[in-house]
Amino acid sequence: MHVSLDTMVDTLKAAAESSRLRILALLSRGDLTVSDLTEILGQSQPRVSRHLKLLLEAGLIGRYQEGSWAFFRLSDTDAARDFVLRLVSGIRGADPQVERDLERLAAVKRKRQDRAAEYFSENAASWDHIRSLHVPDRAVEAALLKLVGKRPFQSMLDLGTGTGRLLEIFSPLYRRGVGIDMSREMLTVARANLDKAGIANAQVRQG
């Protein structure tokens, strides 16, 4: 990572604050909204938004829109992302406050999973009909895994990601995966599935 002295100082200043470090530690586990972060950190929305603004300006995190919701995640830039991951790796398991944050994060992710399960339950009949029209999922997955092989690759783009299943099965191979879907409901399902599988190198977006 080759940057000017002033840029490095600004980056370190942005990260060198307890709440912002807590935010970076949380975003290293996946994408979150301001609402998620206020619930986990126990801070007001304006305060959390100020922290996010500073982290955005420093290039340590990214922001994307999904309908009326704004999601935040670690920067897509390899150098910035690697810097943050090295930074937060030293505080995991060593700070009671960060451990409490991670427990609250788990609760937020459980709510996502509950919403996803509710959506599937409400649409179970149509899902069964759609599945009956296609080749069984396992056969398709096996064919794709055989085709791709075991060689690692840099990026994966999954258009019409649906439940995020392809992002899940190929996650050990790619460095960064992105799933795109038009349906916010399906994005909720995909995000919940990725959370449940503990996949941090993939994200989903509306498009």
pLDDT digits (tens, 9 = 90+) for 182-207: 888 888 888 888 988 989 899 998 87
Residue 129: predicted pLDDT: 64
pLDDT at 127: 63
Per-residue model confidence (pLDDT) at position 131: 60
Q: How far apart (Å, rounded) are the C-alpha atoms in residues 79 and 58? A: 13
What residue ranges do the domains of the chain occupy?
5-114, 125-206
Count Cα neighbours of 164 within 13 Å in the Cβ-side half-sphere: 30
What pTM, to 2 d.p., does this model score?
Answer: 0.73
For residue 196, count CB atoms less than 10 angstroms from its CB and return exposed for 0-12, middle for 13-18, buried for 19 or more.
middle
* CATH entry, 5-114, from 1.10.10.10, 3.30.70.20, 3.30.465.10, 3.40.50.360: 1.10.10.10
Tell the CATH superfamily of the 125-206 domain: Vaccinia Virus protein VP39 (3.40.50.150)
Give exposure, 26-45, as e/b (b: 16+ Cβ within 10 Å). Answer: bbbbbbbebebbbbbbebee
Residue 29 in tokens: 């586990």
- At 194 the pLDDT is 92
Q: Which residues, given as ranges, of the chain have pLDDT below 50?
A: none
How would you list the strands of the sheet with 174-181, edge to edge? 153-159, 174-181, 202-206
